[in-house]
Amino acid sequence: MSLLIDTATNNVTATVSVESHPSGEEPSLLELQSTPNGTNVYVANFMDPNPTVSVINTSTNTVTATIFVRDYPEVVAVTPDGTKVYMTNIDLTMFL
């Protein structure tokens, strides 16, 4: 589950259900990333046997796509122009 927090009030204003077990054993800021324009957030879902990446539309707070990937995604990075998302897996292999 992903939470939307209003930074002015520090209150949770919405929750978004994503695939089970967002990546890793411990929380990390690199498990999700926003596009530069803020329209989408990409969440790495470290789960067995079908690891995925959830795409959340920030206007509607809904998952608009679930992308099946291989080998347990961990680190997410979005290019500055927002046209590409890079991820590494548990073995630190980079894939798109």
> Which mean pLDDT values do the consecutive 10-residue runs of the chain (96 residues) have?
68 71 47 89 78 87 86 81 83 54
* pLDDT score recorded for residue 84: 87
In whole angstroms, give the CA distance from residue 37 to residue 77: 14
* pLDDT score recorded for residue 37: 94
In whole angstroms, give the CA distance from residue 49 to residue 57: 25
3-state helix, strand, coil in the chain (%, to 5): 5, 50, 50
Helix (H), strand (E) at residue 53: strand 52-57
Please give the full DSSP string across 72-92, using - where no structure is assigned: -EEEEEE-TTSS-EEEEETT-
